[in-house]
Every structure is written in structure tokens, then in C-alpha cells.
Amino acid sequence: MNSMMDRRTLLRGLGALSLAGAAGGLNADTNVDSSDNLSSIDFSDDVENLRAYAKLAGTTEDGMVHYWYSGTIFGFTPEKILPMVGWTGLLKMVWRNLGNGSFHFRNYDLAYFTEPGQSKRIDSFVNPFTGKTNRPIDVIGGPFDVVLSPKQFPWITSGDEAWVTDPHIFSFINKLQPDEWPLASSGDMLNMLYLDGFQGKLSDLEDDRIKSAPSIVNIAHVNPWYPFFMMGQRNGGNFWHGHGKKVMELSDITPEVLEYVEKESPGFIESEAPWPTRTDSYKEYKEQRKPAKQ
């Protein structure tokens, strides 16, 4: 599928996962008793809890889900907190229902950096902490695999609104060691906190006809200094804060991001495996840049 119409059809097909009844989704007979199609969720049951999470974050059927997102990266030191740069992109999640109450998904991520609150890609910006010009490298990440087994996700509900956040703490050796990369490296180890949350309608989660519910993603990451900020081992770090939405129509993706994705990774939206080899921003930085000294 190469045409704009093909991509639009594909996304509508993915969105149609949200209404997968044989009667025809949005055109289903409105006179049918809705109680026949709805089921309350027992969030205390691990299997039902996870299924609701999969429906909101991804899909309970095999298929692809995309999220457009945008946000701001802040820097914090003991002395001050400042916005540093914006970022925006497209996340692909390829979901599989494992058939035993568990799910698997694989992530691919493409993004670029902007002025805070903007959508246009930038090649450089002035670091507000150092006053020096930084040159970002674009984000490319994945494939990253996650297997979810039945468990208790911390749901919050109010009226017909539902929220869920699944905190993740990561700790691993920095590919950019400080003795070789004194400015790009924040230290020997990388410790990160991801607090990505999803928001949607409780009624969508309760509706058995819906396989992939419309969803808003809320992004909150606490990370060490990103390499291109060239902050070295200075006290502090970055707070990434953003929002996004599950893509149901091509128009859910901003024109700038859609153009970028189609240029940098043709077929990204259509493919379940847009690239074969795992990569991440630290690996890409090490391959694209040379160590800078003080």
C-alpha cells in the first residue's frame, strides 16, 4: 500500500477494531438493547484488568496501533528548572493476543525535535543552561518487545472516565561512557522512570464489541541528561512531558509528523516491521557523532 488513500484505509481499518461486531460497527442497529452488548469489568480480576488495559492502550485483537504525540523536555538542576526543547513523533505498537489471558506488543518509535510547543523540525537550538548551541539527532527506537501477563494495573475511574498508569523503572549501562564521552555522557549507568498513562471512556472498556478503544496517552519520563544536551555529569536531568492520542484517522497525525515519517521511513505506517534490527537513541548517537571534549 503506497497511496494516501491506502494509508487512510489502513488506519480506518485499525480504528474499526474499536467496533468489530459483525453487524457493521457504527451502522449497527441502534434499537438493539445495549445491555446485551455491554459487560461490567471486575478490575480486581487480573485477567479482566489486563484485558481492559490492552483495549485502552492497544487492542485485544492482533493488529497495529499508532500514537501521535508531542511534548516538551525540561531540564532541572539544584538551582533551576527550564524548558529546553520540544519533541513530536509517531509510535507504532504491534499487538498480539497470546490466547491465555496474556498479550505481547512490539514498539517502534520515530520522532524529531522542535522548539517547545511547535511542530517544525529543528537542526539546532540554544541550550538555556549552557548558552551553547546543541545539535539534536532524531529519535529512532525499537523493536522493543513487552509481554503482559494478567496482573493488577492501578486504574482510576470517575464517571465515564478511566485512567491507568503503569510505572516502569529502567537501569542499564550507558553506551556512552564518561571517560570517552565527557560531555554527552551523564555517567556510567542510566536510570530512568517512565510514567506513561492512558485515558479513555469506561463505557468503551465495558463494551464487548470494542476491541481497541480510543485513547489519550499522557507521557512523563524522568531521565538523565540526553546526550546532545552536552551537560556531562552535571547534577540534574531531564523531565519529558507530553500528550498524544491513538490514531484512528490519518488526520490524527499532524501534517509535519506525517511528512517526516513518510520521508524518513517509507512504509512505516503500513509495515508491522519497519526495520529489522533493534536500535535506540544512545546507539544512534554513538554511531552518528564523535566524542566532544570540554
Asked, as a colleague might, if the bond just before 128 is cis with ω within 30 of 0, I would say no
Q: In which residue are the cell numbers 512523563 written?
A: 220
In a domain, 34, yes or no: no
Pairing of strands 81-97, 168-173: unpaired
* Residue 275 maps to a domain: yes
Residue 261 forms part of a structural domain = yes
pLDDT recorded at residue 293: 78
The secondary element (H helix, E strand) that includes residue 215 is none
Tell the residue number behind the cell numbers 519520563, with chain if given. Answer: 221
Confidence at residue 6, expressed as pLDDT on a 0 to 100 scale: 52
Residue 57 included in any domain: no
Residue 31, in any domain of the structure: no
**Domain coverage including residue 236:** 4-18+68-288
d(CA 204, CA 18): 9
Residues in the chain: 294
Domain count, the chain: 1
Predicted TM-score (pTM) of the model is 0.88
Does the residue 260 lie in any domain? yes
Residue 175, domain member (yes or no): yes
Q: Within its chain, how far is the Cα of 2 from the centroid?
A: 24
Q: Please report, in tens digits, the pLDDT of each residue of the chain (294 residues total).
A: 444 435 554 554 454 444 443 233 333 333 333 344 445 999 999 999 999 999 999 999 999 999 999 999 999 999 999 999 999 999 999 999 999 999 999 999 999 999 999 999 999 999 999 999 999 999 999 999 999 999 999 999 999 999 999 999 999 999 999 999 999 999 999 999 999 999 999 999 999 999 999 999 999 999 999 999 999 999 999 999 999 999 999 999 999 999 999 999 999 999 999 999 999 999 999 999 999 976
**SS3 (DSSP) at 277:** coil
C-alpha to C-alpha distance for 26 and 9, rounded to whole angstroms: 16
- Give the Cα separation of 102 and 96 in Å (integer): 9
In a domain, 26, yes or no: no
- What pLDDT does residue 269 have? 98
Residue 248 · residue 57 · CB < 8 Å: no
Buried residues in 138-173 as b, exposed as e (16+ CB within 10 A): bbbbbbeeeebebeebebeeeeeebbbbeeeeeeee
